[in-house]
Chain A
Amino acid sequence: MTMGSDRDVVVRVEDVHKRYRLGTIGRTALADEIKGLFARSMGRPDPRTQITAPGESQKQGEYFWSLRGVNFEVRRGDILGIIGRNGAGKSTLLKLLSRISHPTKGTISMRGKVTSLLEVGTGFHPELSGRENIFLNGTIMGMRKADVARHLDEIIAFSGIEHHIDTPIKRYSSGMKVRLGFAVAAHLDPDILILDEVLAVGDAEFQKKCLGKMKEVSSKEGRTVLFVSHNMAAVKSLCQSAILLEKGEVRYNGDTAGAVNSYLKGDADVDNYRHFGDAYNTDDFKLIEVRLNPKGRSYEEPLDEYDEVEIHVRLEMKQAADRRKMTFVLSNEEGIEYFTFSNGQSDAQLRNGLNHLVCTFPKGFLNVGGYHLSFFLIEDNARTVFREDDILAFHIQEGKRAVGSWLGREPGFIKPRFQWSHAQE
């Protein structure tokens, strides 16, 4: 390692472990403590003993290892995404990085002014005016009063509530309070910013103003951002690199696309390829395989909301192929059926022998979410010869969106691109 590249490391996480005790330890009332003491002295089990499920690898007796030996480094100017499922240790790591909680083992070292944004408007007092709360919130976030005063006009302008800035904020709408909090957050000016996703996806206005600005500043002025999220759209849009946490350990550390892919592969419900062997081999037909892939790419690649999705079916017909049609039903994860589609009206008809049919969804047709396909073989448009529910389950993930655009899920199940026309009148 050269000295030059070592200099650039501004966050170093070394062998960080965090252990939690299970249950509500620490909140015991004195009476419970006495009861426990009494029970033990009588030879009975302590009523406070936690009952834990055996065989959970993260759990050890009454302890739970939320993080188990996490290591990574962040260089100046990086925007690092930290992703993982619920319970993977994301929030714990976020708390440790924010100095709200302390590691059981290991060290986190950081260079420069660190600011962590887990919510906006921390410490707002309802009785104080907007202006007073700007100072209070700013200093709670680690600003000097003089810094706040220097940026006061900008902050007020940014918040867009100039007219009510001397009104107690208990008279504000919740939206106004959030805007005021965002306005302060946008002017914190740290070297290292630790950001919780709640802030990034909650408010499109904030994204446009703050995240866009942040991304710009990080590349120009070398500001470092750690972004904890399970919103893949946000991570893909903001971060160059990402680490994937799984069961308290780093499972992937590298470029964002790779981290997101391994995140989705870890999902047991996703299965974009099925080869059936002899499972469906009858005198009538043999179903060989069904797979889904983004057009022109492998089925191993995740599908995102902007892809053209292809469904491939390989099916050997042994008799009466001309009377049979393939039909699929697409439903969501709750089992609600969205629509049925078939090769019936198309030119791609089944023939006796080996068939390879491809059905293509138009680009960007399916919205983000989990889907199931059910497969039917229909004879004479009337009789079901074969039926297999949930033959494939797949997931459409968020694509890379422009910073400042909406990063949440758009409402609805499909996003058809209808034909539009325009006439000037």
Chain B
Amino acid sequence: MGSGKHTEHWDVVIAPTGTWWKLGIREIWNYRDLLMLLVRRDLTATYKQTLLGPLWQVLQPLLTALMFAAIFGMMARMAPAGIPPLLFYLSGVVPWTFFANVINRTSTTLTGNAALTTKVYFPRLIPPMATTLSTGVSFLIQLGAFFVIAIGYKVSGNYAWNPGLALLLLPVLLLIMVMLAFGTGLLVASLTTKYRDLGFLIGFAVQLLMFMSAVIFPLSGVSQDSPIRPFIMANPMVPLIEAFRTALLNTPSDLGALWYPAVIGMVMLMVGVASYQRMERSFADVV
């Protein structure tokens, strides 16, 4: 029954020089059920046995925004006039929470899933993709909470919330942010297998970066000739957070500056995937 044509067809070839720069989209597609189940596991298992359950998804950024509003808004007067400080901070904290969580969670996927990866094969990009997706779901819930609160302001007549067409930019902004955070997270994940110190550093670094990312202040609050302005502008998250505010609160910002995070995001994604795929191949040998 064998014909010469089919004799050299192999379904699985295990060789030393793999194509580590490749995403392996087809393989990932074959494992899409696993991806979705891992997302569901993340979302359901995390809040089992907690009293408030998924409400924590909303409470965390809300309490953070409230605290920022109280400290930076009311006391330090860093929030711009005319916008309720709660809405101003929420519009920065929600995307930032997503960004920070994606970096932190993807950066631990190689070490965190060692029990799985040393026992069974599946595309190794699945776990970081799953955590990114589940973090994305949390982000959407939090975004929903923002809209509820904003509408509440509008209905009660305290603030005339009136988002413009820029609201339609949200998917693009989300995409850029995913590329940035996912790529950085993967790069850190592959480096932490070699240098454990980085694991501690990254959580701290992301936290510090927030204070430079226009989350607690509007970019307009940093004057053009301020000595720290170049540093602020070098941070690709600044145009992104500003654009999120434009989309959510219709505040003016330079949307043209988005090319910068978009390019950095694409570079980070490629570097991150390449280094992750490369490190993954030797990971099982060093655990």
Contacts and interface: CB of A to CB of B under 8 A. Distances in A.
Given A26-B282, A29-B195, A168-B48, A100 B119 contact: yes
Contacts of A4: 1-2
Nearest to A123: B116
A105 B41 contact: no
A247 B137 CA distance: 51
A102 B14 contact: yes
B284 A140 contact: no
Interface residues of B, number: 45
A168 B44 CA distance: 12
Interface stretch (A54-62, A111-119, A255-263, A273-281): A111-119
A4 B3 CA distance: 8
Contacts of A12: 10
Contacts of B4: 3
B6 interface: yes
- Between A20, A33, A135, A140, the greatest number of chain B beta carbons within 10 A of the residue's beta carbon is seen for A140
Contacts of B119: 100, 118-119, 122
Given A122-B119, A122-B120, A107 B13 contact: yes
A128 B18 contact: no
A373 interface: no
A25 B116 CA distance: 21
A139 B41 contact: no
B120 A98 contact: yes
B121 interface: yes
Interface stretch (A141-149, A293-301, A319-327): A141-149
Given A33-B195, A100-B284, A168-B48, A111 B120 contact: no
Interface string B114-125: 011111111000
A139 B37 contact: yes
B16 A106 contact: yes
A30 B121 contact: no
Contacts of A8: 2
B197 interface: yes
B170 to A, nearest CB: 30
A141 B33 CA distance: 11
A112 B10 CA distance: 8
B121 A98 contact: yes
Interface string A57-99: 0000000000000000000000000000000000000011111
B127 to A, nearest CB: 10
A107 B17 CA distance: 10
B49 to A, nearest CB: 7
B7 A6 contact: yes
B195 A136 contact: no
Nearest to A105: B16
Interface string A18-59: 001000111111110100000000000000000000000000
A109 to B, nearest CB: 4
Nearest to B195: A30
Given A6-B7, A7-B2, A100 B121 contact: yes
B254 interface: no
Given A3-B2, A4-B2, A7-B6, A128 B44 contact: yes
Nearest to A109: B10
B45 A127 contact: yes
B286 interface: yes
B9 interface: yes
B260 to A, nearest CB: 30
Contact of A101 (B2, B34, B120, B285): B285
Nearest to B116: A123
B196 interface: yes
A384 interface: no
A108 interface: yes
B165 interface: no
Contacts of B193: 26-27
B16 A104 contact: yes
Nearest to B2: A7
B15 interface: yes
B12 interface: yes
Interface in B184-213: 193-198
Contacts of A6: 2, 7
A363 to B, nearest CB: 42
Contact of A96 (B14, B45, B197, B286): B14
Nearest to A27: B286
A122 B41 CA distance: 14
A102 B18 contact: yes
A136 B37 contact: yes
A101 B118 CA distance: 8
Interface string B1-45: 111101101111111101000000000000101101110010011
Contacts of B3: 3
B77 interface: no
B121 A135 contact: no
A358 interface: no
A116 B196 contact: no
B281 interface: yes
B11 A111 contact: yes
Contacts of A97: 14
Contacts of B282: 26, 102
A90 B198 CA distance: 35
B10 A7 contact: no
B12 A110 contact: yes
Contacts of A118: 119-120
Interface of A: 3-4, 6-8, 12, 20, 24-31, 33, 95-114, 116, 118-119, 122-123, 125, 127-128, 132, 135-136, 139-146, 168
Q: Nearest 5 CB-CB pairs, A to B? A: A7-B2, A26-B286, A99-B121, A145-B33, A109-B10
12 contacts: A7-B7, A27-B194, A28-B194, A29-B197, A100-B117, A103-B14, A104-B16, A114-B11, A122-B120, A127-B44, A128-B41, A142-B31
Given A110-B14, A123-B115, 15 more contacts: A4-B1, A4-B2, A26-B194, A26-B285, A29-B197, A30-B196, A95-B284, A100-B121, A102-B16, A109-B13, A127-B49, A128-B45, A141-B120, A145-B33, A146-B33
